[in-house]
Amino acid sequence: MKDKIEALRSKFSSELKTVADLSSLEELRQTFMSKKGAIQDLMKELGKIPNDQKKDAGQMINSFKQEVNEHFEARKKELEELALKALLDHTESYDDSMPTGNPCGSYHPITLIQRELEDIFESMGFDVEDYNEIVDDYNCFEALNIPKFHPARDMQDTYYLTTPNQLLKSHTSAAQNTIMRKYGDKLKKYGRPIRAVFPGRCFRNEAIDACHENTFFQMEGVMIDKDISISNLIYFMKTMLSEVFERDVTVRLRPGFFPFVEPGFELDIQCLICGGDGCPSCKNSGWLELCPCGMIHPNVLKHGGINSEEDPFEYTGFAFGLGLTRLAMMKYGVGDIRVFNDGDLSALSQFVSR
């Protein structure tokens, strides 16, 4: 038995030296350690040797088995480290001299227009805020003067989550209450006007067409101070549009109903795809609803902790909800809103140099 173990030991150590990868190491392990391997053969022979030698022979086999195991584990660790190093050195994962298709990537057009608008509003003293995509019923509706079961809820068919009271925000107006609470103290203590914009992704159960998506972007804006009026609203809307388009665009302001503003307006832009003649992008009307807006309703200011019951008109303000995705359509001349969400890189990467 001793001689047989000795012979196997030298076979194992010479074969271990030639093993260069994990799969060959596994093969070697099978040769020695599997149910049909060399060590199992030794165990079978144990039955044939005289009883007085069995104990010593058994101990020799066991310690050889342990030895093989230890060498095997040590080599395995070495090979794993080498494989990791090779991967980190990139010697295996890719050849960095290979040419690539589009090495730089590009910003999504919505990101580009969002950043441009953020710059414009920041230059006019607005703070840029971020907001959640999952909101509660209070912020999305009730704080905006839309009580439960109010018919105005039908205007935005919304995705409710299975978690009670939670939904995907259907409009960026859902952030208004949070913003009023965040900046209200500074307004009242130091007279610092609230001026904030908050861009974000919105979700609605929509019949999708060339100008409606179920997932789209808006940018909300609010300004609240003493004596804010419709003239301030019109000034900021005009300035924003002339900065974005850098040319004359025809807009129209018409009355619009939103429970959270009074009075409320629809600000439409003449379709830049068809020049006002009518096309699928504007539903053949020649106009595209772009930026509803209005004077913030006293109930909303009260919910936001801005005005008290005793003086409901101490502060006034305006709000707008700019359709960012539609603005991108007009600015970049994209006739179909679905282009922005369908991930076609050949279409989206065209905006890289703008």
Regarding 200 and contact with ligand FA5 (CB under 6 A), the answer is: no
> Which C-beta is closer to ligand FA5: that of 326 or that of 331?
326
> Which C-beta is closer to ligand FA5: that of 29 or that of 169?
169
Give residues with Cβ within 8 angstroms of 184, minimum separation 6.
194, 304, 305, 306
Alpha carbon distances (Å) from 284 to 16, 276, 277: 78, 9, 7
Give residues with Cβ within 8 angstroms of 302, minimum separation 6.
308, 309, 312
> Which C-beta is closer to ligand FA5: that of 68 or that of 329?
329
Q: How far is the CB of 86 from ligand FA5 (least distance, A)?
A: 49
Q: What angle do CA 209, 211, 212 make, to 5 degrees?
A: 65
Regarding 114 and contact with ligand FA5 (CB under 6 A), the answer is: no
C-beta separation of 286 from 270 below 8 A: yes
> Which C-beta is closer to ligand FA5: that of 289 or that of 336?
289
CB-count exposure of residue 343 (10 Å: 0-12, 13-18, 19+): exposed
Number of Cβ within a 10 Å radius of residue 302: 16
C-beta separation of 261 from 232 below 8 A: no
Regarding 171 and contact with ligand FA5 (CB under 6 A), the answer is: yes
Largest interatomic CA distance in the chain? 110
In angstroms, the CA 199 to CA 322 distance is 9
Token pair 């030991």: residue: 9
Q: How far is the CB of 99 from ligand FA5 (least distance, A)?
A: 38
Q: Which of residues 55-74 bind ligand FA5 (CB under 6 A)?
A: none
Q: Which residue is nearest to ligand FA5 (CB)?
A: 323
Considering just the CA atoms, what is the radius of gyration of the chain in Å? 35
Q: How far is the CB of 288 from ligand FA5 (least distance, A)?
A: 7
Regarding 195 and contact with ligand FA5 (CB under 6 A), the answer is: no
Contact with ligand FA5 (CB under 6 A) among 200, 326, 340, 348: 326
Regarding 129 and contact with ligand FA5 (CB under 6 A), the answer is: no
Regarding 206 and contact with ligand FA5 (CB under 6 A), the answer is: yes
Residue 160: strand, helix, or coil: strand
Regarding 204 and contact with ligand FA5 (CB under 6 A), the answer is: yes
> Which C-beta is closer to ligand FA5: that of 60 or that of 155?
155
Alpha carbon distances (Å) from 84 to 18, 81, 95: 20, 5, 17
> Which C-beta is closer to ligand FA5: that of 126 or that of 320?
320
Q: How far is the CB of 305 from ligand FA5 (least distance, A)?
A: 19
Regarding 325 and contact with ligand FA5 (CB under 6 A), the answer is: yes
Token pair 């970049």: residue: 332
Q: Which of residues 250-309 bind ligand FA5 (CB under 6 A)?
A: 258, 261, 264, 289-290, 292-294
Give residues with Cβ within 8 angstroms of 147, minimum separation 6.
141
Regarding 328 and contact with ligand FA5 (CB under 6 A), the answer is: no
335-354 mask for ligand FA5 (x: CB under 6 A)?
--x-----------------
> Which C-beta is closer to ligand FA5: that of 200 or that of 292?
292
> Which C-beta is closer to ligand FA5: that of 12 or that of 287?
287
Q: How far is the CB of 256 from ligand FA5 (least distance, A)?
A: 7
* DSSP bridge partners of 7: none
With CA atoms as reference, report the closest residue to 271 among 212, 211, 215: 211
Of 49-57, 193-201, 246-254, 315-323, the window that binds ligand FA5 (rule: CB under 6 A) is 315-323
C-beta separation of 306 from 319 below 8 A: no
Q: How far is the CB of 113 from ligand FA5 (least distance, A)?
A: 13
C-beta separation of 274 from 288 below 8 A: no
Which residues of this chain interact with ligand FA5, rule CB under 6 A?
171, 173, 204, 206, 212-213, 216, 218, 258, 261, 264, 289-290, 292-294, 319-321, 323, 325-326, 337
